[in-house]
Amino acid sequence: MAILLDGKATAEKIRKRLAEETKKLPEKPGLAAILVGSNPASKIYVDIKEKTCKEVGIYSERHNLPENTDGKELIALIEGLNAKSSIHGILLQLPLPGHINTQTALDIISPAKDVDGFTSRSVAKLAAGNEDNVPCTPKGIIRLLEEYKIPIASRHAVVVGRSMIVGKPTAAMLLNRNATVTICHSKTPDLGNYTRQADILIVAAGKPKLVTAEMVKQGAAVVDVGINKVDGGIAGDVDFESCKGKAGWISPVPGGVGPMTVAMLLENTLNCYKGIEG
């Protein structure tokens, strides 16, 4: 039976440590969240992030902009936040409405305040092996593997999904830790052929129960990133019930990568406060 990669408990430990640290600071670290439009999932995520900030002593402010906000207004807001000394991190919740160029808006965020690691500069730095500003979900995935002392170097890691938010940065972080990395995506024929070779399998496809036991190598570490709305709740991308008997480690949904993502956002905010960005 697989060891549970308990993101809920691990994130709680991290939050406690961060709360201890922020208590000792002369001023509160500050996070500004920008939400454009009324995507219900985005609103839920920002609500959770704000609530968790308060719990660990991080000041948070939210900027709700209407769906029809134009790019220039958004850029003006970000420039104002770049200049605001009480704000150390800026989070631009994605996705943005289609009429706004996402990367142009992200790239206005000051490198020193890039808590999500989505600016072009941070993406390039990660590719070059510098992890000063890495996206929160990949960072949470790696932290979970490290917490459970799962060896990464020289192992074969297979990442299912190639988004800029999860798949690609996770693959880069695994590569930085000397894993041999394979990236699979929606055009990969015979996905199981690859996943069965994985010592570490990260699944971020957004397809409920895409990965079943016969696609998992005996003893592998399986990290399920998926959050899918299904009848009666939320399901991951991995069929947890069938895979738990075969994997060596497995993360649940909920209670796996989700809470780790939020904890990493708080940690990144504190790092920006300390000026760790290089």
Active centre residues (catalytic): 49, 93, 116
- Is 71 or 206 the residue whose CB approaches ligand NAD more closely? 206
Q: Please, which residues bridge with residue 31 across strands?
A: 60, 89
- Is 87 or 157 the residue whose CB approaches ligand NAD more closely? 157
Three-state SS at 120? helix
Other CB atoms within 10 Å distance of the CB of residue 152: 19
Single-letter amino acid code for the residue at 27 = E
DSSP string, 35-74: EES--HHHHHHHHHHHHHHHHTT-EEEEEEE-TT--HHHH
Nearest approach, Cβ of residue 74 and ligand NAD (Å): 21
| Count of helices and strands (H, E) across the chain | 10, 11
- Is 37 or 258 the residue whose CB approaches ligand NAD more closely? 258
- Is 216 or 227 the residue whose CB approaches ligand NAD more closely? 227
Question: CA dist 127 to 29, 143, 204, Å?
Answer: 28, 18, 19
Contact indicator for 88, 269 with CB cutoff of 8 Å: yes
CA–CA distance, 263 with 257 (Å, rounded to integer) = 10
Q: Extract the runs of DSSP E, i.e. beta strands, from 37-101.
A: 59-65, 89-92
CA–CA distance, 93 with 38 (Å, rounded to integer) = 11
Query: Minimal CB distance to ligand NAD: which residue?
Result: 163
Nearest approach, Cβ of residue 205 and ligand NAD (Å): 4
Nearest approach, Cβ of residue 275 and ligand NAD (Å): 26
Nearest approach, Cβ of residue 228 and ligand NAD (Å): 5
Nearest approach, Cβ of residue 224 and ligand NAD (Å): 9
- Is 225 or 243 the residue whose CB approaches ligand NAD more closely? 225
Chain centroid to CA 7: how far?
Answer: 12
- Is 2 or 171 the residue whose CB approaches ligand NAD more closely? 171
Q: Which residues contact 190 (CB under 8 A, 6 or more apart)?
A: none
Nearest approach, Cβ of residue 268 and ligand NAD (Å): 14
Give the interface with ligand NAD as residue ranges (CB under 6 A).
Answer: 137, 160-163, 165-167, 184-186, 188, 191, 204-207, 210, 225-228, 257-258, 261
Chain centroid to CA 249: how far?
Answer: 20
Single-letter amino acid code for the residue at 127 = A
